[in-house]
Amino acid sequence: MQSASKILSYSNSRRGAAVVALVLACGFMLSAADTPVNVQLNLKKAGPRQVESLTEQAILRDYRLAWTSIAQAFETSSADPLEGPFAGEAKKQLVDVAIQQQQSGLSQRYLNQTHHLDAVFYAPEGDVMELHDTAEFQLEVSTGGKIIHQEHIVQHYVVLMTPAADRWVIRHLQAVPQF
Amino acid sequence: MLRTFLILASLAFSAATVGLSAAQDIRVPSSIAAGDEATISTTGSGKATFYLIGPSVSRKNDVNLGEEIKLQPRDVQIAGNYLALVCSGECRSANFYVSPAKPAALTFLVHPSRVPVAQGDAISGVAFPFDQFHNLVLAPLTVNFQLSVSNSAMFSRQVKTQDGAAWFRTSSGKSAGAVQAIATLNDVSTRRAVQQVASDPCNLRIKGERTKTGLLLETEPVHDCGGNIVPDGTIVTFTANEGDTRSTVDAPIKKGIARAQISGTAAATISVASGVVIGNELRIGAK
C-alpha cells in the first residue's frame, strides 16, 4: 500500500513536471500569429453612407484576420496566409515581401498588435470603405534565428477595404507619417 | 615572453577592429518620392550587411561601411515606411518614408450600371487618385466629375479629394440612354457608363379582341411619364374576370408592347397592371 502510494505520488509529480514543461514549451513556441490582435473600430467619422451593424462586425473580424495573416506570413516567410484577406495591390506587395524574405533569410515578428481604426469614408453604394489605422506593435527582425532588430512601432496606415463574396478584403494598405 | 606578446598584439588588433566596426552609423534621406533613386550614407569602415525592409521589399546585401548605399527606383516604388539596417557586429537602424509620386491614374467607381430616369440621388461615383506605382495620393487634389447624355451635359462638379477620396451623388436624367460619366484630374481621366432606362409605366392602356379560342390582348406602346419607352422584359399582368372565373397572365414587354392570350368564351372584364401602375379596364362581350 505504501509502495503504491509512493508510485502514485511519483507518477503525479512526473505528470506535474510534464505539464509545466509543456506549458513552458508552448510559451517558447508561441508565435506572433498566435498572439491576439486587438482591433477597435470607430465609426463616428464614417460617411456619407452609414455603416450597418453587420458591416461593422465584418470589418472588425476581417481586419483582425488580415493582421493575424500578415504576422503569420512574415514570421514564416510564406505567402499562403495572405490568400484570403487581401486583394489587388495590397496582396501583391505583401506576397512580394514574404517571397523576398525566403531569399534573404529575414523574418519579422509582429507582437502585441493593437489597432485603432477610424472609418473615414464609406462610399454611397457601400462598395468601398477607407479606414485610418493607428497601429502599435513590437517588431522583431531576425535572420538565421538571431534577432537583429527590435522596436516598438506606432504606425499610421491608410486602408481601403471592399466587400467580397463572404468577407471584406484589404485592397490597399499604405503606411503614412501622419493623418 | 613571445607568447604573452602575441596575445597582447592579438587583443590590440581585435580591439581596433571592433572599434572600427562600432563606429558605423547610417543616415537615410529625409524624404523620397516613390520611384526616385536615393542613397543611404554609412560611416565607419570594413564589411557590413545591409538590410532593407519595406512595404514590398525585404532584401539584404553586403556593403562597405563608409560608402554610400544606392537604392534603385524599384526598391522604393511603394509608398510607406522603410527600415534600413546595417549590421557589422552590432546593427544600426534608421527609418524613412517614401511618399507617393504624382497622380497617374484615377480609380473611378460609378453606381448603378442601370438606373430609371428621374430618380433622386440615384447615381453616385467615387474616385481615388493613384500614382504610376499604385500608391494612393493623399494630398488634396481637385477631381472634375462630368455626366452627359448624347453629348449634352447633365451634371458637372469639381470635388477636392479628402484622404484620397472624392465622390458625388446626383439624380438620374430625364431621358433614357447611355450616360457617360467622366472623372478628370489634370490630364488623367477615367470613363464609365450608366444606362438610363424608362421609369415606371404611365397611362398604361390595353386593347383586345375576341378570337376563336378566347381573347387576344395587347397594350398600347408602354411609356413612362417622360415619354421613354419602357424597356423590354418589363412584366405586364393581364387579368380577366369572367363571372366567378379569374385568369391571370404575365407577359413581358417586347418592342414596347406586351401581348397575352386568354382562353374563354364568356363576357369578360380585363384589367392590366405593371408594378404599382394600374391601367384601363376593358369589357369584352361573350362569344
Question: Does residue A100 share a domain with residue A24?
Answer: no
At B22, list the grid cell.
562600432
Name the residue among B60, B119, B184, B48 with its Cα closest to residue A141: B60
Could you tell me if A91 and A166 lie in one domain? Answer: yes
Contact A97 B58 (CB under 8 A): yes
| Per-residue confidence (pLDDT) for residue B19, from 0 to 100 | 36
Same domain, A53 and A108: yes
Over 90: is that where the pLDDT of B285 sits? no
Residues A30, A52, single domain; the answer is no
pTM, to two decimals: 0.81
Per CB-CB distance under 8 Å, the chain A contacts of B126 are 123-124, 127-128
Across residues B123-131, what is the average pLDDT? 98
> Over the stretch B198-220, which tens digit does the pLDDT of each residue have?
998 988 999 999 888 889 999 99
The rounded percent of chain B whose pLDDT value lies above 70 is: 92
Nearest CB neighbour to B59, from listed A104, A125, A175: A104
Q: Over 80: is that where the pLDDT of A159 sits?
A: yes
Least confident of A155-159, B86-90, B91-95: B86-90
Residue A125's closest chain B neighbor by CA? B111
Pair A1, A54 in one domain: no
Please check whether residues A27 and A46 belong to one and the same domain: no
Are A18 and A80 members of one domain?
A: no
Tell me: do A118 and A171 sit in the same domain.
yes
Comparing B210 with A163, which gets the higher pLDDT? Answer: A163
Rounded (10°) angle between helices A88-104 and A53-76: 20
Strands B103-111 and B69-71: unpaired
Residue B13 is predicted with a pLDDT of 40
Tell whether A152 lies on the interface with B, counting CB pairs under 8 A.
Answer: no
Which of the residue ranges A3-12, A117-126, B52-61, B138-147 would you say has the lowest mean pLDDT? A3-12
* pLDDT over threshold 60, residue B193: yes
Q: Work out the end-to-end distance of chain A between its first and last CA atoms, rounded to an integer number of angstroms.
A: 74
Are A29 and A117 in the same domain? no
Q: Say yes or no: A29 and A101 in one domain.
A: no
pLDDT at A33 (0 to 100): 57
Q: What is the dihedral of CA B73, B77, B82, B87, to 10 degrees?
A: -30
Nearest CA in chain A to B110: A125
Least confident of A48-57, A61-70, A112-121, B25-34: B25-34
- Give the CATH number of the domain where residue A56 resides: 3.10.450.240
Residues A30, A56, single domain; the answer is no
Q: Is A91 on the interface with B (CB under 8 A)?
A: no
* DSSP element (H, E) containing B96: strand B90-99
Number of domains chain A contains = 2
If asked whether residues A29 and A43 sit together in one domain, one would say no
Whole-number pLDDT of residue A59: 98
What stretches of chain A adopt beta strand conformation (E)?
38-42, 106-122, 129-143, 146-163, 168-176
Domain coverage including residue A27: 1-34
